[in-house]
Amino acid sequence: MDLTNSTAIVTGGASGIGAGCARALAARGATVIIADLQADKGEALAEEIKGVFAQVDVTNTEQITAAVEQAASIAPLKACVNSAGIGSAIRTIGRDGQIDSAFPIESFKKVVEINLIGTFDVVRQAATVMSRHEPDANGQRGAIVNLASVAAFDGQIGQAAYSASKGGIVGLTLPLARDLAAVGIRVNTVAPGLIDTPIYEFVPNPAEFKENLGRNVLFPKRLGSPDELASMVLELITNDYMNGETIRVDGGIRMPPK
């Protein structure tokens, strides 16, 4: 699929994997709508790639609507990448045997609301906008890539909410692809492994922490880069015969229990 003179929307596009995807899409000719909560980073990236920043909380339906309509007002919306999400690491029960110490149900709901429901809300709205424009010579109107995680398959201790939310994204892939085939929209999912993003900056020594994590990767024994993830996302968007698939990009890692 040719992205020249089109728009693309990337949620969570201000940093990390999302920023890598935004740069890759811009390099292929799309005007990228960077949909994120981080205005400072989002506006700076938009200026860098000649895109547009839209402040979007993916749990806010109206903000999503504004972003996808803004994209359509610039050029046909042909690509959507859902990278917005949050992590979670809480054990299911506490050590004292008290129900009050169990995984807070509101925390579980929040992770699912952002990672899974937020992704679906963007998909349903972006696909609606895509369906309005004329298809290309191959009958295509657009392509959507959702970001899951290897935690969808290899969830670790404490990742009940996160793994459930990412497993839900994997489960959405085929029914969405089947549903949207009627209007010429493809849907695929990428499940990243350990990727070098700002998520690791909270630890006292990030470089040492990431080096230790990298030892668990089959090969190469390091964290992946946002650009390596973005390369796969771009392939799924531009390769007309990729549809209904979930692709792991993880260096062969299979996550241990903890």
Number of domains making up the chain: 1
Q: Which domain holds residue 19?
A: 6-249
Whether 258 maps to a domain, the answer reads no
Shortest CA distance to 246 belongs to which of 164, 166, 142, 183?
Answer: 166
Whether 152 maps to a domain, the answer reads yes
Q: State if pTM tops 0.85.
A: yes
Tens digit of each residue's pLDDT, the chain (258 residues): 999 999 999 999 999 999 999 999 999 999 999 999 999 999 999 999 999 999 999 999 999 999 999 999 999 999 999 999 999 999 999 999 999 999 999 999 999 999 999 999 999 999 999 999 999 999 999 999 999 999 999 999 999 999 999 999 999 999 999 999 999 999 999 999 999 987 777 778 888 888 988 999 999 999 999 999 999 999 999 999 999 999 999 999 999 898
CB 86 within 8 A of CB 114: yes
pLDDT number for residue 205 = 87
Whether 256 maps to a domain, the answer reads no
Taking the C-alpha atoms of residue 217 and residue 222, their distance in angstroms, rounded to an integer, is 6
Beta-bridge mates of residue 30: 6
Whether 148 maps to a domain, the answer reads yes
Both tokens assigned to 225: 């880069």
The CATH number assigned to the domain holding 212 equals 3.40.50.720
pLDDT number for residue 238 = 98
pLDDT number for residue 82 = 98
Whether 254 maps to a domain, the answer reads no
pLDDT number for residue 89 = 92
Taking the C-alpha atoms of residue 62 and residue 58, their distance in angstroms, rounded to an integer, is 9
Residues marked as catalytic: 162
Both tokens assigned to 208: 């040492």
**191: phi then psi, degrees, rounded to nearest 5:** -110, 95
CB 51 within 8 A of CB 20: no
Whether 68 maps to a domain, the answer reads yes
Whether 257 maps to a domain, the answer reads no
pLDDT number for residue 53 = 98
Identify residue 118 by its one-letter amino acid code: G
pLDDT number for residue 118 = 98
pLDDT number for residue 197 = 85
Which DSSP state fits 45?
H
Whether 201 maps to a domain, the answer reads yes
